[in-house]
Amino acid sequence: MTNYGFIIDNRKCIGCHACTTACKQENEVPLGVNRTWVKSVETGAYPNTRRHFQVTRCNHCANPPCVRICPVSAMYQRADGIVEFDPQACIGCKACLQACPYDAIYIDPEDGTAAKCHYCAHRTEIGLEPACVVVCPEHAIIAGDMDDPASEISRMLARESVTVRKPEQGTAPKLFYIDGNDVAMHPTAVERTPATFAFAQVIPLEGIPVLDAPMPSTLPHISESDPAAKPSRPPQPQGQPSGGPIHFANGRMADHMTQVTYNQQHKVPWHWPVPTYLVTKGIGAGAFMLLALGDGLGLFPFDRLAYIAVGFVALLFTAITTGLLVYDLERPERFLKIIFRPQWRSWLTRGAFILMGFSAVVGIWWLVEVLTLLGAPLEGLAGFIRPLALGSGLILGAGTAVYTAFLFGQAEGRDLWQSSALPFHLLTQAFAAGSAGFLAAGFFVPFSAQMTTVGRVAFVISAALALIIQLISEYATPHSSDAAIKASHEISHGRYLWHFWGSILIGHLLPMAAAWLMNTDPFGGVIVLACTAVGLYLYEYAFVMAPQEIPNS
């Protein structure tokens, strides 16, 4: 069996970027994105400085997380070990970008599908080496079959000391470095800022280029005696601060000790639709779960009109969730591929079928109840379907609420999302949001006193539990990596501090007080839902965005 891999010999690499340009020409890579690029980091103080290079690309992992998370098998692993992609199958969900710990995948700006280095498979299949290997003037890139003892790469792996990037991820990368330097190999080892780049295209969070100028020679003079005179810079993606890499004294920057001078910047893949869908999904699933639990435990008597109202809330917000999921795809017209060519290891696929099952069960039950209310002779059928729908809907609703935790768990490029507490947090958030939706339904149709009481008590308890988990997650939970620590710090102390505390005030404390004080006033349920939805969105936005701004390359 063939097992292809790469070696980058940093003893020879001169940083000429020939591999980058050859790759772009060979594979017709559009402007603005690269399949391979050379990162440069400088260390030392003038005149004793050194520049370190790192050729960065897909690692063609033996255990590729991008393949597991892809819902339609557009990203797949060949028998020869090459991790390949099929642009005709890709739906542009961007999950593979979140799964890659090496920042090696991008969305093609011309066709909206995922792409990356594919080992020049079209050349490899006819016995040729990848274009980057052929063009390298120093023979610093070695490619070949690692399982062939006679191959150059196999001999070099046997005699040289090599390192890989992020071995702790368990992906078994097959891109090896000779003389790899820590400051270049580890993306968070050196903070980066536009002022240290030789030249840069700085991309703000929304992904619109705002700066494309030489650095730092054209920056205005900054007086060391006046720190406030520093020019303002736009917020940077992937954890770039507005200052420099190392600070001392009165905020002065040690520009020439360690600094990144060249790198490829990547846009943040997931934006507002993802945190919004987490909120709407929680409302829809949670409202029905509370209805099913209340009915099954006999906490309130059956009231067809009230049940229909709660079912409508569940269906409405589940439909909004589905719409957001489709809207966020780069190729939304292909969304049915999840159904017709599912990849069952992906929690995106599993979640889609759980969501469809939940919608079908709730929709059929709700339609029968509505027709019965309108006078159709379906009382017997409604009585038969109701307990089945409520029981199965409770299970599917729980799955709908928590499956995203397992999807985030497959996103191995975002360490903060790898939390064992996340399923419990999403479940309690769903009960809180769903209880709020449950109470809001009482504004439109009359609820019994028992139903209102159940909704109020359930909301206060679930919101309190969600608040406790949220505080523990950010302030008392140890994190397994520096990337997770940095992302968590951004939420609890940094850029998203006001999102975090705003979510506590607006999404937990205020609606808890409103639910407790509303008594039988149905308008209170609307206030509870509005506050809860806004507050949960603030937290989910911070939770989704912060890890994406920590660099992986």
Q: Which domains does the chain have, with CATH numbers?
A: 4-185 (3.30.70.20), 199-259 (no CATH), 273-548 (1.20.1630.10)
Mean pLDDT score, 201-215: 42
For residues 268 and 202, the model is more confident at: 268
Mean pLDDT score, 427-451: 95
Q: How confident is the model at residue 255 (pLDDT cuts 50, 70, 90)?
A: very low
338 pLDDT above the threshold of 50: yes
Q: Which two tokens stand for residue 472?
A: 């523990």
Instruction: Convert 59-87 into a string of H (helix), E (strand) and C (coil).
Output: CCCCCCHHHHHCCCCCEEECCCCCEEECC
192 pLDDT above the threshold of 80: no
pLDDT digits (tens, 9 = 90+) for 270-287: 999 999 999 999 999 999
Share of the chain above pLDDT 90, in %: 76
Mean pLDDT score, 258-265: 80
pLDDT digits (tens, 9 = 90+) for 48-74: 888 899 999 999 999 999 999 999 999
Mean pLDDT score, 101-116: 95
214: part of which helix (H) or strand (E)? strand 211-214
Q: Considering the chain, what is the average pLDDT of its residues?
A: 88
Mean pLDDT score, 389-418: 96
232 pLDDT above the threshold of 50: no
257 pLDDT above the threshold of 80: no
Contacts of residue 256, defined as CB under 8 A and 6 or more positions apart, other chains included, come to: 42, 44, 45, 46, 49
How far out from the chain centre does Cα 516 lie? Answer: 35
244 pLDDT above the threshold of 50: no
93 pLDDT above the threshold of 80: yes
Considering only CA atoms, which of 55, 143, 59 is closest in space to residue 99? Answer: 59
Q: Which amino acid is at 25?
A: Q
| Contact by Cβ (8 Å): 364, 393 | no
Q: Which two tokens stand for residue 252?
A: 């002065």
For residues 78 and 480, the model is more confident at: 78
pLDDT digits (tens, 9 = 90+) for 522-552: 788 899 999 999 999 999 999 999 999 998 8
Distance CA 88, CA 104 (A): 20
Mean pLDDT score, 312-335: 96
pTM: 0.88
| SS3 assignment, position 40 | strand
Mean pLDDT score, 114-125: 96
204 pLDDT above the threshold of 70: no
- The β-bridge relationship of strands 4-9 and 141-145 is antiparallel
How much is the pLDDT for 409? 95
Contacts of residue 94, defined as CB under 8 A and 6 or more positions apart, other chains included, come to: 107, 114, 269, 270, 328, 330
Mean pLDDT score, 363-373: 97
| Contact by Cβ (8 Å): 360, 368 | no
Share of the chain above pLDDT 70, in %: 88
125 pLDDT above the threshold of 70: yes
Distance CA 535, CA 526 (A): 14
How much is the pLDDT for 480? 81
Mean pLDDT score, 181-195: 79
Q: Please identify which residue in the block is written with the tokens 């102390």.
A: 493
Contacts of residue 145, defined as CB under 8 A and 6 or more positions apart, other chains included, come to: 2, 3, 4, 151, 153, 154
Q: Which two tokens stand for residue 233?
A: 């810079």
Output DSSP code: residue 147: T
User: 254: exposed, middle or buried (C-beta count within 10 Å: 0-12, 13-18, 19+)?
Assistant: middle
245 pLDDT above the threshold of 50: no
How much is the pLDDT for 520? 65
| Contact by Cβ (8 Å): 314, 362 | yes
Distance CA 398, CA 434 (A): 11
Q: Which amino acid is at 121?
A: A
